[in-house]
């Protein structure tokens, strides 16, 4: 080859390498732009589900089918290989919030950072309210809808146990595929631990004989007040009544005994109609809890406040607070004050309605 031909070939090779470098740089820019650019077509709350056996192409097809756009399959494969996610996508549900990039999504799938949903058991719920709330939760698999309470407790591994009060009020995280039974198992375990802790901390002279009695009394305290600082005082009051053989005379137990017939009002005939839960007609504790007590109510019963109070009544100002008394005469005076505030509030409401 002549020198002239060699120079021409060298120039051609240089241009070829330059073009290849330019193409490679362009491809690299396109790849990096794809990896960190936000996917388009995303809606708030949108998710994608990786199911057992799903490959990366299958996941990309799911994204396309749901309206998500961004990158070609070749780019998804290259990114997955770079991130060590190829063949390692974990099963689960993943968030597709606006602003999600392919890199962020593949890292989440590689590391199993699935969507966590929440279910809250509210302090003071009874078992009917808890089961109704579970039934309304569309994200949970429903395994208990057709089970009565007896079958439910058997499915939980606690055959023969009454379900009332047995599930700890708390917010529980769950993922796609979890069932209502899964949540209830965790809540039951939570209550067992909370009750055992409260029983361990109880005062040495407690009138309560068993953890079950503690659970029953804690459920009553839970229903009587939502004011945290009042719980130990009310727990102490009830313990003193139990100690001297005085009836608890607490409306929430009567209401519980009325079941679904309770219409929001409690009348004199309800207080005199005997049921196992009527603490006006029967001494001692009712046979089961009447609600799901929270940790604070359990601890209040474990360490009740000292004092001499034997009576209490609502203040009547809408605060949820109570007036306490040591004697019946003092209590009767508090009741009169409550009724006066109640009537004043009713009269004010009536005047406000007339003005409208």
Question: Do residues 186 and 194 lie in contact, with contact meaning Cβ atoms separated by under 8 Å?
Answer: no
Domain ranges of the chain: 35-115, 117-193, 309-356
C-alpha–C-alpha distance, residues 58 and 332, integer Å: 74
Cα–Cα nearest to 235, from 259, 203, 262, 192: 203
The domain 309-356 is placed in CATH, from the list 3.40.720, 3.40.630, 1.20.1070, 3.30.160, at 3.30.160
Cα–Cα nearest to 95, from 37, 39, 46, 40: 46
What's the pTM value of the predicted model, to 2 decimals?
0.82
Residues forming beta bridges with residue 174, ordered by sequence position? 117
Question: Do residues 47 and 96 lie in contact, with contact meaning Cβ atoms separated by under 8 Å?
Answer: yes
Interhelix angle for 211-224 vs 251-258, to 10°? 100
Looking at CATH, the fold of the domain delimited by 35-115 is given as Dna Ligase; domain 1 (3.30.1490)
Per-residue model confidence (pLDDT) at position 27 = 44
Q: Do domains 35-115 and 309-356 have the same CATH topology?
A: no
* Residue 121 phi, psi (nearest 5): -95, 120
Question: Do residues 176 and 114 lie in contact, with contact meaning Cβ atoms separated by under 8 Å?
Answer: yes
Per-residue model confidence (pLDDT) at position 2 = 55
- Following CA atoms 167, 169, 171, 174 in sequence, which dihedral angle do they give, to the nearest 10 degrees? 10
As a three-state string, the secondary structure of the chain is: CCHHHHHHHHHHHHHHHHHHHHHHHHHHHHHHHHHHCCCECCCCCCEEEECCCCCHHHHHHHHHHCCCECCCHHHHHHHHHHHCCCCCCCCEEEECCCCCCHHHHHHHHHHCCCCCEEEECCCCCCHHHHHHHHHCCCCCECCCCCCCHHHHHHHCCCCCCCCCCCCCCCEEEECCCCEHHHHHHHHHHHHHHHHHHHHHHCCCCCCCCCHHHHHHHHHHHHHHCCCHHHHHHHHHHHHHHHHHCCCCCCHHHHHHHHHHHCCCCCCHHHHHCCCCCCCCCCCCCCCCCCCCCCHHHHHHHHCCCCCCCCEEEECCCCCCCEEEECCHHHHHHHHHHHHHHHHHHHHHHHHHHHHC
Tokens describing residue 310: 């034997």
C-alpha–C-alpha distance, residues 134 and 161, integer Å: 20
Tens digits of pLDDT across the chain (356 residues): 555 555 554 554 544 444 444 444 444 455 567 899 999 888 888 999 999 999 999 999 999 998 998 888 999 999 999 999 999 999 999 999 888 999 999 999 999 999 999 999 999 999 999 999 999 999 999 999 999 999 999 999 999 999 999 999 999 999 999 999 999 999 999 999 999 999 999 999 999 999 999 999 999 999 999 999 999 999 999 999 999 999 999 999 999 999 989 988 899 999 999 999 999 999 999 999 999 999 999 999 999 999 999 999 998 887 889 999 999 999 999 999 988 887 887 777 778 777 76
The burial of 21, by beta-carbon neighbours within 10 Å (0-12 exposed, 13-18 middle, 19 or more buried), is given as exposed
């Amino acid at each position: 080859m002549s020198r002239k031909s060699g120079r021409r070939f060298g120039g051609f090779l240089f241009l070829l390498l330059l073009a290849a470098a330019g193409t490679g740089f362009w491809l690299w820019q396109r790849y990096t732009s794809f990896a960190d650019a936000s996917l388009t077509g995303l809606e708030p709350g949108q998710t994608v589900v990786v199911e057992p056996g799903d490959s990366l192409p299958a996941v990309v097809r799911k994204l396309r089918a749901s309206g998500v756009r961004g990158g070609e399959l070749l780019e998804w494969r290259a990114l997955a290989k770079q991130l060590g996610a190829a063949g390692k996508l974990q099963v689960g549900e993943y968030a597709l919030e606006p602003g999600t990039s392919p890199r962020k999504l593949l890292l989440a799938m590689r590391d199993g950072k699935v969507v966590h949903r929440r279910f809250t058991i509210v302090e003071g719920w009874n078992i009917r309210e808890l089961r109704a709330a579970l039934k309304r939760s569309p994200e949970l698999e429903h395994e208990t809808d057709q089970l009565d309470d007896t079958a439910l407790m058997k499915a939980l591994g606690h055959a023969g146990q009454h379900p009332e009060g047995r599930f700890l009020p708390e917010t529980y995280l769950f993922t796609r595929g979890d069932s209502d039974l899964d949540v209830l198992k965790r809540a039951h375990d939570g209550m067992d631990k909370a009750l055992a802790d409260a029983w361990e901390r109880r005062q040495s002279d407690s009138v309560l004989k068993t953890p079950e009695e503690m659970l029953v009394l804690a459920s009553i305290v839970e229903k009587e007040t939502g004011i945290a600082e009042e719980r130990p005082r009310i727990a102490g009051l009830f313990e003193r009544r139990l100690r001297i053989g005085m009836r608890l005379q607490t409306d929430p137990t009567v209401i519980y005994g009325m079941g679904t017939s309770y219409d929001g009002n409690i009348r004199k005939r309800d207080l005199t109609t005997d049921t196992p839960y009527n603490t006006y007609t029967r001494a001692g504790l009712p046979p089961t809890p009447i609600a799901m007590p929270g940790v604070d109510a359990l601890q209040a019963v474990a360490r009740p406040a000292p004092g001499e109070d034997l009576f209490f009544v609502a203040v009547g100002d809408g605060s949820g607070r109570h007036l306490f008394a040591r004697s019946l005469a003092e209590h009767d005076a508090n009741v009169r004050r409550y009724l006066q505030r109640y009537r004043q509030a009713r009269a004010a409401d009536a005047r406000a309605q007339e003005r409208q």
